[in-house]
Amino acid sequence: MAQGMLGRRLSAQDATFLYAEREAAPMHIGSIAVFDGEISYARFVDNIASKLHLIPRYVQLVVPAPLNIGHPTWEWAPDFDLSRHIKRLRIEAPGTDAQLFDLASQLFAGVLDRDKPLWEMYLVEGLEGNRTGLVSKVHHCLVDGVSGIELLMIVMDVSANPAPPAPGSLPQAPPLPGPLERLIDAVFDNAAAGLDRWTELRKSAVDALTTGDPRARAVMRALETAIPYFSTPMARAPFNKPLTPGRKLACSEFSFAEIRAIRAACGGTVNDVVLAVLGGALSRYLDMHGEQTEGRNMRILTPVNVRREDERGALGNRISMLLVEVPVGVHDPVERLRIINERTDALKRRNVADGLQQLSDLLGGAPPAFQAFAAGLPTPPNTLAHMVCTNVPGPMIPLYSVGHRLLAHYPLVPIAWEMGIGCGVTSYNQKLYFGLIADAEAAADVQRLKEFLDQSFIELRSAAGVVKSDLPQMGVAAAPGAARRRRAPARAGEALAADAG
């Protein structure tokens, strides 16, 4: 990840995650990783240190512009100290997965310190079965889900005995720019950005008069789709409440081969299968809380990657959103999947994600000071969406760190705007991992939703006629010293990422 691929000034979308952050709604993403064996803290730190020149954002601070006249910039951190970012913890015996998840929920709460680069890792020792945990946090202004996976592929290795990382070094950190220099830089950057926007606007006007601007049509279709959601408030779920700082989480994992077999048997995409499983779990959860499900839909925000091919490898955010109505009143799991597939297909045919991205780019042209001010205002009650569910394809081969194999990788996503539960999904090494993060007060029973998720998956698998695979499951209560199947290292040419479609 060369420095040349990284812009110095945050984009409007990246900066929004900084402006909108609250103590009760921190804007970092992360994961819980579980490794085979006991990882040496010193070796782990040395390994990350040897790769820092490949991830320069890990050595850069976010520095605001005076009066927010421009979006913040990335500046080299003076006196960077890796020990402030990688910390060592030990779980008391017996060291179960449940203890690891409880610890991770505490670590994931609270905002990252903006006086240092915006990431942290916690190496967790003492897990039963001779294992080591790793809880990671990185601010959303630095990565989205896709660039986070690309970052993972740099931090991890594809074999137990990898070749040394490409040689390189970090530049000597210059003094941080003073207020006047930052003010002048922001004025010039705003002028350059304004010229670019004017050029783009003129081109769009010419296209509209000659061939018809497809971007304008996409924006109009996106608005036509989105406006009814704003005009028709949703029926709030039990977890749609004002957020508090505490967090709780629960995790599940499923065979990716079974997910693909369900898709093959019933149609749709992997993401449609994920939403169908989540819909079944939410139906049970609403029933448990005495809520009506007949004829009811849950509105699920699903982030969509809109990176162009030439933007691969760059950090930052390039995402749009689709709002999918998941029918929780449909109890036949195959029929639920069919309806979801019809609805997501309709959104894709109308290019809603592209249209919303174009609209976001237009709004991003507003003065940064106004954007910062607007994001700092109290948020209105959420009547738009119940929760976010993000599904990011990950590496489908085993990964390693300092020779230790990565056994499991559970994603964690931020929650905000009265959406008291968030669902992160990612694939890794032939499994699909779910991470449910919840506000500790709005959804103290998130573990029940996890149990319903497991039941919903089994129900859909059975209804689809898919035979259970023999892949082992980690489970929250794995027996101490339980044997774990070891797979051979991946052969050259094996796919690195899952097919998200």
pTM reported for the whole predicted model: 0.85
User: Under a CB-based contact definition with an 8 Å cutoff, are residues 305 and 318 in contact?
Assistant: yes
User: Over the Cα atoms of the chain, what is R_g?
Assistant: 23
Is 487 part of a structural domain of the chain?
no
What is d(CA 220, CA 238) in angstroms, rounded to the nearest whole number? 34
Is 426 part of a structural domain of the chain?
yes
Helix (H, G, I), strand (E, B), or coil: what is residue 16? helix
Is 2 part of a structural domain of the chain?
yes
Helix (H) or strand (E) holding 379: none
The per-residue pLDDT for range 470-499, each reduced to its tens digit, is 655 554 333 333 333 333 333 333 333 333
**The total number of structural domains that make up the chain:** 1
Which residues form the domain of 138?
1-469
Residue 373 DSSP class = H
What is d(CA 339, CA 472) in angstroms, rounded to the nearest whole number? 31
Candidate from 144-153, 343-352, 476-485 with smallest mean pLDDT: 476-485
Is 40 part of a structural domain of the chain?
yes
CATH code: domain of residue 70: 3.30.559.30
Going 357 to 358 to 363 to 364, the CA torsion angle's sign is: positive
Question: Per the structure block, which two tokens stand in for 193?
Answer: 């950005």
Closest CA to 288 of 164, 443, 468, 178: 443
What was the pLDDT predicted at 218?
63
What was the pLDDT predicted at 38?
96
User: Under a CB-based contact definition with an 8 Å cutoff, are residues 439 and 420 in contact?
Assistant: yes
Is 440 part of a structural domain of the chain?
yes
What was the pLDDT predicted at 487?
31
Q: What are phi and psi of 124, to 5 degrees?
A: -110, 115
Closest CA to 457 of 322, 245, 320, 261: 261
Closest CA to 276 of 287, 286, 264, 268: 268
Question: Per the structure block, which two tokens stand in for 194?
Answer: 């304004």
What is d(CA 201, CA 207) in angstroms, rounded to the nearest whole number? 10
Is 311 part of a structural domain of the chain?
yes
Is 484 part of a structural domain of the chain?
no
Provide the CA 333 distance to its chain's centre, in angstroms: 26
User: Under a CB-based contact definition with an 8 Å cutoff, are residues 243 and 420 in contact?
Assistant: yes
* DSSP-assigned states of every residue in 249-302: EEEEEEEHHHHHHHHHHH-S-HHHHHHHHHHHHHHHHHHHTT---TT-EEEEEE
User: Under a CB-based contact definition with an 8 Å cutoff, are residues 247 and 106 in contact?
Assistant: yes
What was the pLDDT predicted at 355?
59
Going 46 to 47 to 50 to 56, the CA torsion angle's sign is: negative
What was the pLDDT predicted at 167?
82
User: What value does the mean pLDDT of the chain take?
Assistant: 84
Say which amino acid occupies 320.
S
Is 410 part of a structural domain of the chain?
yes
| % of the chain exceeding 70 in pLDDT | 78
